Amino acid sequence: MPEAFPNLVAGQRLTASLLRSMQPQVARKTADTSLLATTTQTLDPHIQFTAEANSVYVFEGWIAYDSDNAADIVLGFSVPSGTKGKWVGYGTGTTVISGTSGNGTQQNQVSTWGYTLRVEYTDIASPRTFGGLNVGNPESVYLYGTCRFGPTGGTWGLTWAQAVSTASNTTVYTDSWLKAQRIA
């Protein structure tokens, strides 16, 4: 059976608060954020939401980043205790393998022939590592998933860090975004 939030009934008064609760929330980065020499995942200062207790949200987003091929990037989510769910990130694999014009492959080289793609899903509380190419060659990850919040609502959002600590910046760029829609 399809889910919808809120569950409207005949004769119910429509208020600004009720109408707002029906709209998706969008968190967009308004400034670049860089990390270097750290593998400690940090809650992104722009890409975060407040979730209601005992609620369900679906989400999608686009994360634009730049990372050295030695550092890569680890993406995950900070969620309140008791949260369940799954997410997928469509992004470059940890070893950036691209094609060549002769149908061969090459590692960690900029290519017009495309890259391998990481597509498995994971638990909402578990991070995933995506490949970095070379600083100055930005990449991106398309994210989507579902969060089921238990009796503890609160702040949830994107976390990230370098997979391997290096002296090169790993940057998540302005205009990266995540959209969350409450469905139950």
Give the DSSP H or E segment for 146.
Answer: strand 139-148
Q: Is the peptide bond before 24 cis (omega within 30 degrees of 0)?
A: no
**How confident is the model over 86-103, as a mean pLDDT?**
76
pTM of the full structure = 0.86
By CB neighbour count within 10 A (0-12 exposed, 13-18 middle, 19+ buried), where does 40 fall? Answer: exposed
Q: Which residue has the higher pLDDT, 121 or 144?
A: 144
pLDDT score of 121 more than 80 = yes
- Among 145, 139, 131, smallest CA distance to 61 is for 145
Q: What is the pLDDT of residues 134-168, one digit of tens each?
A: 778 899 999 999 999 999 999 999 999 999 999 99
Residue 104: per-residue pLDDT: 67
Q: What is the pLDDT of residues 27-61, one digit of tens each?
A: 999 999 999 999 999 999 999 999 999 999 999 99
